[in-house]
Amino acid sequence: MEYRHAAVPAVAGGLMLTLLLWWAGASAGALDLDGATGALGIETANALRTWLLPWAYDPQPGASVVVTADGPSYLALHDTAMQIRFVAVFLFYAAGALLLVRRLPAERGRVWQALLALWAWGVVAGTLAVTVSAPWMIASGGRGSYRFLPQLAALASTGRTVLVPLALATAAWTVFVTRLALRNAEPRARGDVPARAAVVAATAGTAVVAVSVVVLSYQTNAARIQTMFTGGGFLSEPGDLLRQWLLLSAWSGPSGTGLGDWLLVRFGDVLLLTVVWCALRWLPGMLTRASVPAMAACTVCAVVLGLLVRHLWRVVAVDGGTSSWHLLQAASGLGDGTSAAVLWGTLAGVTATVVLRVVGRRTEAPAQAADGAGSGG
């Protein structure tokens, strides 16, 4: 699929996600109306407010900032932060969707794969947009020089819950537009990838992700990462930020429970790694061209999907709560780990691509030698 054809669904999807997030943020004001708390309940209203406020354009700075002489400047910084956030979410989604639509077009035989990849990429785009705009948001609060990196980590982890359903709607819209663009095109044949090379590449890429899930996320190692840096200064406390970008598993595993409960929680990590391995196994043959950017982007999406599968497993099999409070708590965890998925998914995708090419060449060389010997005889 050419760039000029793929740009249409990519831009359409970016506009859709941006508009949906703007609408979600504008709806946050309705939670402050009389009767909203009574109709929804205090817990539900507070949870919805937490999910929607990161995308609310109307400034809500602290009272101590508004009454200062620089109050208008802080309000202007808030407006700038939100402008950057919405522009960034459009650009990030459109850029990623352009690559995904070209390399994983939503044609016959690839529709569900494209839908899942675009869904996960929508969550990634929103997370990156919040992270990029966080410094301006910190400055608008008037406390930019106090614990900057912990503030950055806290703000970068917000707004993910509402991204999950809105990104799914955006992915469906993007796939629909892609199908319209491909209505007269023939499906492209899948690549012929040696099975051994694909298996070895998938195993190598999954091993990279397992470093975070198994090694770094182990409670002792995670605590060491969290408390590695001490002292004073503007950039003296990156522990929270490192934890967010390095750990794909639970910060602290279940303690004081039986072996069965511990295995149930760890099985969620097994599901995460299984999703990543299966995705890396079929991606080289599913993509129109297994390039490094395409494999990296698709692997990031696979890790995000694995995180959603693991979260669903823990909600259903581990927590098992059906009350409204348990459901709100479960929904609040949607999108957790997306920052780390960007880092480790990229590394895993690049690793899998390099291994795929090296092993593929070694597999093809004996076959070509045998063909040459047979033709010579």
- Give the C-alpha separation, 175 to 173, whole Å: 5
Distance of CA 249 to the CA centre of its chain: 14
What are the Cα distances from residue 187, in Å, to 3, 6, 67, 149?
Answer: 17, 15, 62, 48
Backbone dihedral region of 185: left (phi > 0), alpha (psi from -120 to 50 degrees) or beta?
A: beta
Distance of CA 356 to the CA centre of its chain: 24
pLDDT at 65 over 60: no
Position 116, amino acid: L
* CA neighbours closer than 13 Å in the CB half-sphere of residue 318: 22
Q: Are 173 and 16 in contact (CB under 8 A)?
A: yes
Task: Report residue 250's pLDDT band, with 50, 70 and 90 as the boundaries.
Answer: low
Q: Which residue has the higher pLDDT, 255 or 115?
A: 115
Q: Which of 155, 128, 119, 103 is nearest to 283 (CA)?
A: 103
Tell me phi and psi for residue 68, to 5 degrees: -80, 165
Mean pLDDT of 252-265: 70
What are the Cα distances from residue 311, in Å, to 127, 152, 163, 341?
Answer: 17, 24, 15, 14
Q: Cα dihedral sign for 164, 170, 172, 174?
A: negative
Q: Which residue has the higher pLDDT, 324 or 249?
A: 249
Q: For 63-72, 138-147, 185-194, 292-301, which range has the lowest pLDDT when averaged over its residues?
A: 63-72
pLDDT digits (tens, 9 = 90+) for 311-325: 998 888 776 665 666
Q: Which of 275, 285, 295 is nearest to 337 (CA)?
A: 275
At residue 377, the pLDDT reads 45
pLDDT at 64 over 70: no
Computed over every residue of the chain, the mean pLDDT equals 84
Percent of the chain with pLDDT over 70: 84
Map out the domains of the chain as residue ranges.
1-186, 189-377
Q: Which of 343, 90, 340 is nearest to 222 (CA)?
A: 340
What are the Cα distances from residue 253, in Å, to 222, 235, 256, 269?
Answer: 11, 29, 10, 11
Q: For 36-45, 107-116, 160-169, 182-191, which range has the lowest pLDDT when averaged over its residues?
A: 182-191
At residue 256, the pLDDT reads 58
pLDDT digits (tens, 9 = 90+) for 120-163: 999 999 999 999 999 999 888 777 667 788 889 989 999 999 99
Mean pLDDT of 98-119: 91
Task: Report residue 71's pLDDT band, with 50, 70 and 90 as the boundaries.
Answer: low
At residue 229, the pLDDT reads 75
Task: Report residue 89's pLDDT band, with 50, 70 and 90 as the boundaries.
Answer: very high
- pTM reported for the whole predicted model: 0.90
pLDDT at 174 over 60: yes
- Give the C-alpha separation, 334 to 336, whole Å: 6
pLDDT digits (tens, 9 = 90+) for 202-243: 999 999 999 999 999 888 888 888 887 766 666 667 888 888
Highest mean pLDDT among 8-12, 314-318, 328-332, 359-363: 8-12
